[in-house]
Amino acid sequence: MYCIMKGHNFMYDIQTVTQIFFPNEGFIKVDSPVLSGLTCESSLNGQACEGKLHKDGVLAQKFSFPVSDDIHETRRRLMISVFLACKAYTGLKTPWGALAGIRPSKMARLLLSQGLNSQEIVERYKSGYCASEEKIRLALDVALAEEKILKLQSSNGFSLYIGIPFCPSRCLYCSFTSYPIGANAGRVDAYLDALEKELDAVKSLSKGRRLDSLYIGGGTPTSLDEEQLERLLEGVSSRFDLRAAKEYSVEAGRPDTLTPAKLEILKRHGVGRISINPQTMNEKTLEIIGRGHTAQHMKAAFAMARDAGFCNINADLILGLPGEALVDVAKTFERIKELKPESITVHTLAVKRASKLRETLEEHKLASAEALEEMLAVAQTASREMGMSAYYMYRQKNMLGNFENVGYCLPGRESLYNVFIMEETQTVWAAGAGAVTKLVEKPGLIERAFNVKSLDDYINRIDEMIKRKEDKFYAQASPKT
Ligand code: SF4
């Protein structure tokens, strides 16, 4: 998409808004509307914040608001003028309105802390961002749940994330750092060597602080064999004091990777929460998305985990998977109810740039925004019927229908880590390929240290990954001049 920016520097915000309607479209700056294609024009002149959309050089839509004395409000008006022009042009439904690039629950928490009541927040979102009342209420529910969870953080606490980038196969929609374990079995030990080195560094950098929550994800950590899994968990418990940790989660993503012996290892090392993820309980879809397991594997894995003593199990689901209709989603929830998980995380399918799905998009039939809305309603009703309520939520780029991902759980079964990482209120040390450490000096003041994603690079450049962390940590710790 082409763009013209006049009188301001909010190009990133304007682009974020246009991507609600034109996902994956970058901006090419031009001086005047192009004769072939769409040009977005955002201008701030003495009196007005204007948003225009030109089609093939001809003005198609235009919205305008007066300039405010407050620069933040002026920025919002610039965004909303472009939002309204795009909405009028495309006719798309936008449940979250112009709320993009900010987590709605975070904003709701901020407004609550400023003393606004629920009704005032609803009005603010509706008039200011054209969001629907239903979505605003969801953001508010989540904000209130998060408030309680965030109080569980220790004053000197931190969380730890460990990434294991191996899976039995690659899912169609996956954009994570993940390598097929079969073809990479010979590199697992070298990976664990590097990881342990990085954990040594994290141990020393986090000295004197209390480990609040620990999450081992990826990838599918349980795709490691029993010996490797034992080594991984022993490597963690020998370095960190887990007795004080309020939560220890492991992603057991693929049900077919679980065995009684692996579950025993997890249990013995103090893992309290596991996530066994079917994404759907429909066999045909499981095949299409390349999960390599069946709904029966899911039932067996749940039974095995219960036998091993796990009483806090999450199940991840995705709405809008290729070929799925409302009836398939309803069937999935009926079968999930039988498993009685303590929490579910309901994602809306996102078509990520690095996924196989993106490459083969024309081969798949994806759900419309209307169908997704109905699927989300089924998910919400099912979660209520299971006695769960929403406790965390986030939105991503390129989600079908511009919807959201929501975590629902039974009372007291919230994933603390999910909220801590999302709300960025405490430091999260992260180790492993593709992991991102977030050093939070105080809320809003965050330094990030990125690890390389490639398996080989991670193994070969582990000292550099450690140095990146140390540099950020010491730079943040030293007084600023
Ligand atoms: S299980 Fe998760 S990490 Fe592994 S390939 Fe599938 S989506 Fe990616």
The four Cα atoms 159, 163, 169, 175 give a dihedral, to 10 degrees, of 80
267 lines ligand 1 (CB under 6 A): no
The band of 354, judged by pLDDT with boundaries at 50, 70 and 90, is confident
Q: What is the pLDDT of residue 479?
A: 57
Residue from 259, 186, 244, 188 nearest 218 by CA: 188
171 lines ligand 1 (CB under 6 A): yes
pLDDT, one tens digit per residue, over 253-304 is 999 999 999 999 999 999 999 999 999 999 999 999 999 999 999 999 999 9
DSSP state, residue 403? -
Query: Ligand 1: distance of its center to the CA of 167 in Å?
Result: 6
Nearest atom within ligand 1 for CA of residue 178: 3
178 lines ligand 1 (CB under 6 A): yes
Rounded CA gap, 308 and 301, in Å?
10
Query: Ligand 1: distance of its center to the CA of 331 in Å?
Result: 23
Looking at every residue in the chain, the average pLDDT score rounds to 94
For residues 142-168, average pLDDT:
95
Q: How far is CA 112 from the centre of its chain?
A: 23
Residue from 296, 306, 292, 289 nearest 342 by CA: 306
**pLDDT of residue 443 exceeding 80:** no
For residues 83-97, average pLDDT:
93
Residue from 187, 173, 185, 171 nearest 454 by CA: 187
Q: 3-state DSSP helix/strand/coil percent for the chain, to nearest 5? A: 45, 20, 35
User: What residues have CB less than 8 Å from 121, skipping those under 6 apart?
Assistant: 108, 111, 112, 136, 140
- Which tokens is 118 given? 């629920």
H-helix or E-strand spanning residue 88: helix 71-90
**pLDDT of residue 442 exceeding 90:** no
Burial (Cβ within 10 Å: 0-12, 13-18, ≥19) of residue 185: middle
H-helix or E-strand spanning residue 16: helix 11-21
100 lines ligand 1 (CB under 6 A): no
Residue from 84, 147, 94, 95 nearest 118 by CA: 147
Rounded CA gap, 101 and 16, in Å?
7
The band of 480, judged by pLDDT with boundaries at 50, 70 and 90, is low
User: What residues have CB less than 8 Å from 164, skipping those under 6 apart?
Assistant: 216, 217, 218, 219, 220, 221, 223, 224, 232, 432
User: What residues have CB less than 8 Å from 281, skipping those under 6 apart?
Assistant: 295, 298, 331, 332, 335, 336
pTM reported for the whole predicted model: 0.91
Q: Which domains does the chain have, with CATH numbers?
A: 2-90 (3.30.160), 104-149 (no CATH), 152-431 (3.80.30.20)
Query: Ligand 1: distance of its center to the CA of 339 in Å?
Result: 22
Residue from 44, 78, 41, 81 nearest 59 by CA: 41
220 lines ligand 1 (CB under 6 A): yes
The angle formed by the CA atoms of residues 375, 376 and 382, to the nearest 5 degrees, is 90
Query: Ligand 1: distance of its center to the CA of 344 in Å?
Result: 17
**pLDDT of residue 211 exceeding 60:** yes
Indicate which residue's Cα is closest to atom 7 of ligand 1: 174
Nearest atom within ligand 1 for CA of residue 218: 3
How crowded is the C-beta side of 325, counted as CA atoms within 13 Å?
Answer: 1
Q: What is the pLDDT of residue 335?
A: 97
356 lines ligand 1 (CB under 6 A): no
Indicate which residue's Cα is closest to atom 5 of ligand 1: 170
Please name the residue that has the structure tokens 């990482």: 421
The band of 439, judged by pLDDT with boundaries at 50, 70 and 90, is very high
Number of helices (H) and strands (E), helices first, in the chain?
17, 18
3-state SS assignment for residue 255: helix
For residues 1-7, average pLDDT:
95
Query: Ligand 1: distance of its center to the CA of 165 in Å?
Result: 9
Rounded CA gap, 225 and 1, in Å?
48
136 lines ligand 1 (CB under 6 A): no
Q: CA–CA distance from 463 to each of 197, 205, 245, 359, 474 (Å)?
A: 8, 15, 28, 35, 16
Indicate which residue's Cα is closest to atom 8 of ligand 1: 174
Phi-psi group of 309: left, alpha or beta (phi > 0 → left; psi -120 to 50 → alpha; rest → beta)? left
Q: Name the pairing type of β-strands 389-394 and 28-29.
A: unpaired
Share above pLDDT 90 across residues of the chain, in percent, rounded to a whole number: 85
Residue from 180, 162, 339 nearest 250 by CA: 162
The angle formed by the CA atoms of residues 469, 475 and 478, to the nearest 5 degrees, is 135
For residues 392-403, average pLDDT:
87
For residues 79-91, average pLDDT:
96
**pLDDT of residue 24 exceeding 80:** no
